Structure 1
Amino acid sequence: MAHVLGQQESTLVKAGAQRRGAINPLDPRMRIVMAVVFAVVTVAVSSLTALCAALAVSLSLLAASRLPWRKTLKRMAMMDGFILFMLVLLPFSMPGDPMFTLWGFPASWQGFWKAVEIALTANAVILSLMVLVGTMEPVTLGHALHRLRCPEKLVHLLMFTIRYIEVLREEYLRLRAAMKVRGFRPATNWHTYRSFGYLVGMMLVRAIERSERILDAMKCRGFSGRMPLLQDFALTRRDIVFAAGLGALCAGLIILDLA
């Protein structure tokens, strides 16, 4: 019976490892460095052929990571919503050969292709960052940045922000619920603006009080300004192969852009 249970457990572990894909087992430091390299190269190239190839590389990384396509692309669509307004206005604001005229405003081909270039660049970079960096645990990301010799205070700030952003959100929701119970309904008047100002001020006051309590609790537990890192990283052959492959693809993007 123990042997059968052991085989079942081994099967489940292997299945979980397969679902994780080929990206998660990589060294987090290597993932961060290669994400930055790929982003810099993608921003540097300008030809549509190279940008389409960069987007294809990002999609290949997404496939290798085995992340859910629908959920990931939905997040990408949310990002595109922020730049959609700019992309729509760019053909009308950039001079060049007219493509069509809308209400007396000409849209240029140069502005249209610039909008396509920006859209391809943004999607390729954001998708690669989501796959390579966004799949890390926050603590793992902080430890990897520390191992990469990032400023220690910035690493602490990142980790505390990730840890307590949800706490601040819950505090905001409690304050909004208290305002609704007291009959507050937002409108376009000075009372609404003043009430939201009080809301922001109260959140700042409570955040300062909470930070002081957290600092006292950390000092009681021996915090001296530095966080001991219990996780150690080591480069493997898989990491080197991945870095060499992605580096070769980045070099190919540069060559394709110059061709």
Structure 2
Amino acid sequence: MNFGDGRIMTLAFEHITPRDSLLARCDARWKLLGILGLTLVVAAMQTLVSVTVALLCALALLLLARPEWRWLKYRFGTVCLSMIPFLILPPLTLPWPRGGIVASMVTLKALAILSLMMALIASTSVHRLAAAAVAVRMPQVLVLLTVLTYRYTFLLAEEIQRIRVALRVRGFRNRGNRHSWKTLGQVIGALLVRGSDRSERVAHAMEARGFDGRFRSLEPFRTRWGDPLLAVGLAGVSVGLVLLEWQARSI
């Protein structure tokens, strides 16, 4: 599907450059700890009232990051489309109103977590987030896998686009017949082989340049007076949501 600006919906991967905002000026270490803690609290919630309040708080935090509307709407649109089965199945499989409550809670929780992650990504570059994750003692292997997965998502999207253009030039049209399925299988196999070869070349290149698994940054982390306030504020929101969850369950 073409959006009119030359981009294809299924291959709409793009890097985002953080815009200047109140959240972008904060230290990535404090921001990462505060948002991850709030995300864990949201993921553990089980009442509709607390999840709704959490979504409002997450949207408020996302506004502080000042993301571009075009970048924002594609992500929200994709997640909303993927949540359609979760809105349909619970009301059909569970008694009313339990099914509707479960469907609403799952959807609101997914949107709240998405908003928190987008606020983090929209206000901090990926390499800065990786360095901050290592600085707060997160496992380096997990951080490295995350960064490589992010990076190679774009490379695989470019490779798929080149293969797609090559197939179109050769007159291929995807139809529900044996030839089409055979061609798609061969394309997937070629993509996997190319990905394996590229990963070996990248690993050798990283070793030749002395990479030892540690993330280093040219910009040292500096804690300003507002950074602990942000972390304390996010921790206060988390505590407030926990109390609201406890009160909602007791009713």
Q: TM-score range by the shorter chain?
A: 0.7 to 0.9
Q: Which runs of 5+ in 2 are unaligned?
A: 1-18
**Partner secondary structure for residue 26 of structure 1:** coil
Pairing partner for 1:236 from 202, 212, 224: 224
1:85 and 1:42 map into 2 onto residues whose CA distance is 21
- Is 1:158 aligned with 2:146? yes
Pairing partner for 1:171 from 159, 167, 174: 159
- Is 1:61 aligned with 2:61? yes
Q: Which runs of 5+ in 1 are unaligned?
A: 1-18, 96-107
Confirm or deny: 8 A CA contact 2:144 2:213 kept in the other structure. Answer: no
Q: What is the identity, as a one-letter code, of the residue corresponding to 2:109?
A: T
2:107 and 2:76 map into 1 onto residues whose CA distance is 11
Cα–Cα, structure 1 residues 154 and 249, in superposed 2: closer, same or farther, change >3 Å? closer
Per the normalisation by structure 1, the TM-score is 0.79
The count of residues paired between Structure 1 and Structure 2 equals 229
Partner of 1:142: 130
Percent same amino acid at aligned positions?
32
Name which structure has the greater RCO, CA cutoff 8 Å, separation 6+: 2
Partner of 1:251: 239
Partner of 1:82: 82
Confirm or deny: 8 A CA contact 2:34 2:230 kept in the other structure. Answer: no
Partner of 2:92: 92
- Is 1:112 aligned with 2:104? no
Partner of 1:27: 27
Cα–Cα, structure 1 residues 167 and 49, in superposed 2: closer, same or farther, change >3 Å? closer
Shift of 1:111: 0.8
Q: Deviations over 1:204-224 (max 9, x none)?
A: 222222233333333443445
Residue correspondence of structure 1 range 119-134 to structure 2 within 5 A = 119-134=107-122
Cα–Cα, structure 1 residues 78 and 28, in superposed 2: closer, same or farther, change >3 Å? same
Confirm or deny: 8 A CA contact 1:146 1:155 kept in the other structure. Answer: yes
User: Considering only CA atoms, is the larger Rg found in Structure 1 or Structure 2?
Assistant: 1
Q: What is the identity, as a one-letter code, of the residue corresponding to 1:115?
A: A
2:207 and 2:240 map into 1 onto residues whose CA distance is 52
1:225 and 1:123 map into 2 onto residues whose CA distance is 33
Q: What is the identity, as a one-letter code, of the residue corresponding to 2:30?
A: M
Cα–Cα, structure 1 residues 113 and 29, in superposed 2: closer, same or farther, change >3 Å? same
Confirm or deny: 8 A CA contact 1:62 1:131 kept in the other structure. Answer: yes
Residue correspondence of structure 1 range 10-25 to structure 2 within 5 A = 20-25=20-25
Q: What is the identity, as a one-letter code, of the residue corresponding to 1:211?
A: S
Q: What is the identity, as a one-letter code, of the residue corresponding to 2:222?
A: A
Shift of 1:244: 0.8
Cα–Cα, structure 1 residues 112 and 203, in superposed 2: closer, same or farther, change >3 Å? same
- RMSD after superposition: 2.2
Per the normalisation by structure 2, the TM-score is 0.81
2:70 and 2:236 map into 1 onto residues whose CA distance is 29
